[in-house]
């Protein structure tokens, strides 16, 4: 009887743990459940808990797609609803987490004012400030990925905050489709000294969005939504999936969308004097990014420029950079030589795709 009871408790605990978190949109993460008319004044939500599952602070507006404010028409993905964060406004939701586990947050944002808008996102004690003044797509929306390490074994508050204070209190970004995913950081193997060289591990892709997920600038390895990789540049890189783009290998890849201002790096341990081979694929994402593309690959002091003539219909080529390590740590870096835009709208930033990155030591051939 004791054994049966103990088994029941364990099964119950396991069941509860499985319900703690599921990859995908947060409850009401797309804001389709909105406030009642009595909880609003115009478009402003007056009740702190007026939007189900969320806690609001400050000047938060509930926006329907196609709604006009002055001369501006608000466009929301899937013709649904979103929230607009005015001066110093925020939205917060508490989610269950497991201590020591990495999680990524994906959310979609649109800039609505002329100034340099920013978004402060946090999951205590981790936080980051994401610039959104550069629009990477012509849709008017971009999805962003951010990551944190759970410091608590129970729950954490996911907070999205507009830190700006403008003369117009309503001026601020639109936020939609807030999702979360558990990250499983891959390790180095005897077949690849680089972590996540195929870019298969990364943030959640919001369903029915076709523009990928931006990995913001100044993202460090410890809290990268693209495990193993850092974005050491002023602009973002784009994480893309095989469901909506052409990728050279597997189901995920990265697109270098902002020229030399969009650099992806990883630091790896090496043996000085030893020869290594950095192998990778360069291609296009089948997104009408046509013309002459070029990826610059760096490994320590070595550099290789790989040209790729894109028809904008998918395809890739293989490249190898052999180098001799000069220190115990070697920085591997990829960037695009210049800015490019899609040929159909001349506005959406695009660039070469990098995938299937491998680093291995080269064995010396003995001469007889």
Question: Cα–Cα distance between 235 and 136 in angstroms, integer?
Answer: 10
224: domain CATH number is: 2.60.120.260
What is the structure's pLDDT at 154? 85
The reply to whether 264 and 222 lie within a common domain is: yes
Residues shown for the chain = 368
**Are residues 212 and 314 located together in one domain of the fold?**
yes
DSSP state of 38: G
In a domain, 58, yes or no: yes
d(CA 211, CA 66): 20
The verdict on residue 139 lying in a domain is yes
Convert the pLDDT of each residue in 265-319 to its tens digit: 999 999 999 999 999 999 999 999 999 999 999 999 999 999 999 999 999 999 9
308 and 251 both lie in a single domain: yes
Instruction: Report how many domains make up the chain.
Output: 2
Does 4 map to a domain? no
- CA 123 → CA 103, 205, 250, 281, 332, distances in Å? 10, 20, 31, 35, 30
| Domain end (from 183, 198, 229) | 183
Per residue in 39-81, pLDDT tens? 999 999 999 999 999 999 999 999 998 887 766 777 887 779 9
Q: In which residue ranges of the chain is pLDDT below 50?
A: 1-19, 368
CB-side exposure of 198: number of CA atoms within 13 Å?
Answer: 14
Question: How remote is the C-alpha of 100 from its chain's centroid?
Answer: 20
Q: How far apart are CA 160 and CA 274, in angstroms?
A: 47
Q: Are 224 and 174 found together in one domain?
A: no
**pLDDT of res. 209:** 86
255 and 266 assigned to the same domain:
yes
Q: What is the pLDDT of residue 2?
A: 43
From CA 262, how far away is CA 242, in angstroms rounded?
21
CB 21, CB 156: distance < 8 Å: no
6 within domain boundaries: no
Evaluate whether residue 65 is within a structural domain. yes
Both 222 and 146 in a single domain? no
pLDDT at 3: 46
Residues 193 and 305 in one domain: yes
What is 214-272 written as a DSSP string? EE-SSB-GGG-SSTT-EE-SSS-EEEEETTTS--SSSSEEEE--SGGG--EEEEEE--T
Contact by Cβ (8 Å): 53, 28? yes
Q: Which of 265, 334, 332, 324 has its CA nearest to residue 296?
A: 334
Q: Are residues 285 and 308 in the same domain?
A: yes
| pTM, rounded to two decimals | 0.91
Residues 154 and 208 in one domain: no
Q: Which residues are registered as beta bridge partners of 69?
A: 72
- 173 pairs with which residues across the strands? none
What local confidence, expressed as pLDDT, does residue 239 receive?
98
Residue 293 sits in the same domain as residue 323:
yes
Within a domain: 30: yes
Domain end (from 183, 204, 223): 183
Q: How far apart are the first and last CA of the chain?
A: 75
176 and 126 in a single domain? The answer is yes
Adjacent-strand bridge partners of 229: none
Helix, strand, or coil (residue 39): helix
Distances (CA, A) of 6 to 13, 14, 16, 19: 11, 12, 15, 20
In a domain, 108, yes or no: yes
Least Cα distance to 72 among 101, 110, 34 occurs for 110
97 and 216, same domain (yes or no): no
Residue at a domain's end among 183, 207, 230: 183
**Two tokens at 293?**
């593309």
- The H or E element spanning position 349 is strand 349-350
Residue 192 is given by DSSP the state B
Look at residue 27 and tell me if it is in a domain: yes
Structural domain that includes position 225: 185-368
Judge residue 36's burial from the number of C-beta atoms within 10 Å of its C-beta, 0-12 exposed, 13-18 middle, 19 or more buried: exposed
ω into residue 125 within 30 of 0, thus cis? yes
- Cα maximum dimension of the chain: 88
**Helix, coil or strand: residue 360:** strand
């Amino acid at each position: 009887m004791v054994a049966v009871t103990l088994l029941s408790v364990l099964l119950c605990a396991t069941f509860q743990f499985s319900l703690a978190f599921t990859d995908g949109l947060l409850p009401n993460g797309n804001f389709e459940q909105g406030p009642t008319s009595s909880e609003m004044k115009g478009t402003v939500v007056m009740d702190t808990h007026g939007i189900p599952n969320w806690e609001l602070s400050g000047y938060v507006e509930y926006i329907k797609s196609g709604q006009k404010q002055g001369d501006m028409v608000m466009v929301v993905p899937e013709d649904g609803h979103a929230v607009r964060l005015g001066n110093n406004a925020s939205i917060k939701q508490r989610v269950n987490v497991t201590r020591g586990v990495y999680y990524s947050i994906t959310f979609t944002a649109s800039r609505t004012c002329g100034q340099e808008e920013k978004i402060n996102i946090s999951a205590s004690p981790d936080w980051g400030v994401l610039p959104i003044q550069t629009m990477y797509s012509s849709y008017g929306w971009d999805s962003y990925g951010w990551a944190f390490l759970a410091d608590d074994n129970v729950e954490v508050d996911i907070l999205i905050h507009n830190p700006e204070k403008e003369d117009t209190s309503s001026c601020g970004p639109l936020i939609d489709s807030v999702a979360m995913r558990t990250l499983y950081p891959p390790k180095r193997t005897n077949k690849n000294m680089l972590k996540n060289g195929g870019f298969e591990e990364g943030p959640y892709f919001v369903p029915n969005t076709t523009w990928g997920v931006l990995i913001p600038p100044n993202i460090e390895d410890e809290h990268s939504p693209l495990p193993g990789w850092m974005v050491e540049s002023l602009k973002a890189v784009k994480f893309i999936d095989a469901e909506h783009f052409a990728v050279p290998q597997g189901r995920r890849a990265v697109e270098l969308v902002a020229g030399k201002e969009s650099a992806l790096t990883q630091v790896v341990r090496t043996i000085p004097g030893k020869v290594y081979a950095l192998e990778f694929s360069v291609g296009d994402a089948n997104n009408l990014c046509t013309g002459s593309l070029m990826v610059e690959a760096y490994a320590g002091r070595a550099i290789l420029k790989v040209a790729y003539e894109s028809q904008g219909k998918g395809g890739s080529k293989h490249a190898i950079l052999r180098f001799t390590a000069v220190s115990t740590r070697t920085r591997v870096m990829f960037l695009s030589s210049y800015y490019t835009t899609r040929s159909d709208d001349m506005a959406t930033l695009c660039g070469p795709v990098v995938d299937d990155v491998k680093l291995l030591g080269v064995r010396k051939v003995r001469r007889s």
